[in-house]
A and B are shown apart, each in its own frame.
Chain A
Amino acid sequence: MSPVVYLRCLLGIVEREALRFVHQRTRFLAALVRPLVWLFIFAAGFRAILGVSIIPPYETYILYETYITPGLLGMILLFNGMQSSLSMVYDREMGSMKTLLVSPLPRWYLLSSKLLAGSLVSLLQVYTFLAIAYLWEIEPPPLGYLAAVPALLLSAVMLGALGLLLSSVIKQLENFAGVMNFVIFPMFFASSALYPLWRINESSALLYHIASWNPFTHAVELIRYALYLEINGQSLAVVTGCFGVFMGLAVLGYDPGRGVMARRGPGAS
């Protein structure tokens, strides 16, 4: 098939995602309010808590709100990744998923396009958040905003792939509350988004190990380093690897011959 067809398909999916985004402006605002609440209210109580040590990639002492900003960017990506999994389940229940999957293009391509479309919308939210945070005196180096784009995109597709994988397993829309409880919260709290790993290690070695293995930790660290013009090689490897694994499993999960779609029988939608 010619690349034009591939491109047309990608643009179609991006357009559809963009339309959804435009039509659901409240969703955009809601997704923005969440990290802002953390920044303005939660961080207020811990303002000077990290003023006692220098944590790479920072070269000097920072306030807590500066520390949690990359974590909150990760939060936006995480919630959006999961929300897109919700929309997948919804699409499936409504039957529009079938329309997508009957396309002659390969399944992995369709799912990747969907992922990319969702991630681009996430980036819009991330940069809106960063603009507001700038007014709150969270000022990474100007080039950091540019350097963070690939890190944000990679993290977004990794978390999106996880959502995709989950959506291939979840049978009903109602189960999204479960995703909230069992995926989003543990991933967010057991990570370096809110506290540096050394501080977690002080209170619990077990939690420290869990957090070190948490892909979300690495997404946050990848973004944090990129925002300050550095590369965290380990995090880059973990995020890339996780993306590969999640995506592979998701493609399998959506394979009518094998995955859950098949187990549910030919009539399942």
Chain B
Amino acid sequence: MLSKLLAAAAFAGLLLAAQPGHAYTIFVSNERDNTVSVVDSETLEVVETIDVGRRPRGITLSQDHSKLFVCVGDDDRIDVIDTETYEVVGTLPSGPDPELFVLDPDGRYLYIANEDDNKVTVTDIDAQKIVTEVRVGVEPEGMGISPDGKTLVNTSETTNMAHFIDTDAMEITHNILVGSRPREAQYTSDGEEIWVSAEIGGTVSVISDATRKIKHTINFDIRGIPKEAIQPVGIELTEDGKRAYVAMGPSNRVAVIDQETYEVLDYYLVGQRVWHMAMSPQEDRLYSANGVSSDLSVIDLEDGKVLKSIPVGRLPWGVAIKP
């Protein structure tokens, strides 16, 4: 009788948990396994594991979502995956050691950070050719593009700068000193601000696009976590300009920030050493790649709760979502 009662309650719970689905597919690059895990948004289970080149890190979708691009740093190229068949269907040239990249808003070019070569490479996707390259600071990584596609922001980990690049001239127009070891740059949806995370500095700098100056620096303080474990890396900004989410590395937290007031509202407990994240198309869920614990945490942004952590490959690094 008791077990029946419990089973009934559990079943009712499952019914409630299975919400009307906006099905989408989540891709996670596993840096150490040389694979990409494919996760179904409804079952929250890994449905496929795709073998790619060595050291996959940066991961993003083509504009029509038919292709997935993966930086495979140790093979000095971009692998192209068909998002229907989950097969590697081709490669793109990237220059040496591609780490992270961004798709231009027209979907034509990939702007690629070459970590070991201190430059940004521009690849024409259709022509499968490198168009040009720009010299930047030491160890480039973060790549952000303005909504109009006119300005590219690259951060260099060792130079500690955000480099603003005019995409027409492909020249650096501004260099801005930010916190130590900048890892990611993201434009707000209105194009007025660029958020840059600093891993060692433990801060996020908000730069005004109009003045090209830092207008605010966000600091973090997590109860019971030593300052040195607070290492902001991945940044996700909502389209509506209300919330920002910052992955905090080895403090195993994702910070929730008010985009308007820059106030840190809360921290979500996720897996170990969280780096990059992606938001669902409805922006109601956030997925974080937790490198050391080799899993993907699923955060319900409406309830403000971490729902589940799904084991993926070893050292998950980046996340991309296909609607």
Residues of A within 8 A of B (CB): 47-48, 51-54, 59-63, 139, 141, 143-144, 146-147, 150-151, 154, 226, 229-231, 233, 236, 240
Contact: A60 with B9, CB < 8 Å? no
Contacts of B225 in A (CB 8 A): 48
Chain B residue nearest to A149 (CB atoms) is: B5
Contact: A143 with B269, CB < 8 Å? no
**A63–B297 alpha-carbon span in the complex (Å):** 15
Contact: A230 with B307, CB < 8 Å? no
A144 in contact with B13 given A226-B6, A231-B3, A236-B2 (CB within 8 Å): yes
**A150–B223 alpha-carbon span in the complex (Å):** 37
Contact: B6 with A61, CB < 8 Å? no
Contact: A147 with B6, CB < 8 Å? yes
Judge whether B308 is part of the interface by a CB distance below 8 angstroms.
Answer: yes
**A47–B17 alpha-carbon span in the complex (Å):** 28
A59 to chain B, nearest CB (A): 4
**A141–B305 alpha-carbon span in the complex (Å):** 11
B249 to chain A, nearest CB (A): 14
Contact: A60 with B307, CB < 8 Å? yes
Judge whether B271 is part of the interface by a CB distance below 8 angstroms.
Answer: yes
Contacts of B309 in A (CB 8 A): 54, 59-61
Judge whether B71 is part of the interface by a CB distance below 8 angstroms.
Answer: no
A231 to chain B, nearest CB (A): 5
**A53–B307 alpha-carbon span in the complex (Å):** 15
**Residue in A52, A60, A229 with the greatest tally of chain B CB atoms within 10 Å:** A60
**A147–B197 alpha-carbon span in the complex (Å):** 44
**A210–B252 alpha-carbon span in the complex (Å):** 33
Contacts of A226 in B (CB 8 A): 6, 9
Contacts of A63 in B (CB 8 A): 269
From B6, B12, B16, B307, A151 is in contact (CB under 8 Å) with: B6
Contact: B306 with A61, CB < 8 Å? yes
**A52–B309 alpha-carbon span in the complex (Å):** 12
A147 in contact with B13 given A47-B224, A61-B252, A231-B6 (CB within 8 Å): yes
A231 in contact with B10 given A52-B272, A143-B16 (CB within 8 Å): yes
Q: Is the interface of A mostly helix, strand, loop or mixed?
A: loop
Contacts of A147 in B (CB 8 A): 5-6, 9-10, 13
B197 to chain A, nearest CB (A): 22
**A52–B229 alpha-carbon span in the complex (Å):** 14
A229 in contact with B13 given A60-B306, A61-B306, A236-B2 (CB within 8 Å): yes
A48 in contact with B6 given A61-B309, A141-B13 (CB within 8 Å): no
**A58–B147 alpha-carbon span in the complex (Å):** 40
The contact size tier of chain B is 20 to 34
Contacts of B17 in A (CB 8 A): 141
Contact: B9 with A146, CB < 8 Å? yes
**A230–B12 alpha-carbon span in the complex (Å):** 11
Contacts of B89 in A (CB 8 A): none
Judge whether B131 is part of the interface by a CB distance below 8 angstroms.
Answer: no
Contacts of A54 in B (CB 8 A): 295, 309
**A61–B307 alpha-carbon span in the complex (Å):** 9
Kindly list 9 other residue pairs between chains A and B, CB separation below 8 angstroms, not including A59-B307, A146-B9.
A47-B223, A60-B269, A60-B306, A60-B307, A61-B269, A61-B309, A63-B269, A143-B9, A240-B2
Contacts of A233 in B (CB 8 A): 3
A230 in contact with B252 given A61-B269, A61-B309 (CB within 8 Å): no
**A231–B13 alpha-carbon span in the complex (Å):** 13
A154 to chain B, nearest CB (A): 6
**Residue in B252, B269, B272 with the greatest tally of chain A CB atoms within 10 Å:** B269
- Give 9 nearest A-B pairs by CB, closest first: A147-B9, A229-B13, A59-B308, A60-B309, A229-B10, A143-B13, A150-B2, A60-B306, A231-B6
Contacts of A60 in B (CB 8 A): 269-270, 297-298, 306-309
**A61–B272 alpha-carbon span in the complex (Å):** 9
Contact: B271 with A61, CB < 8 Å? yes
Chain A residue nearest to B311 (CB atoms) is: A54
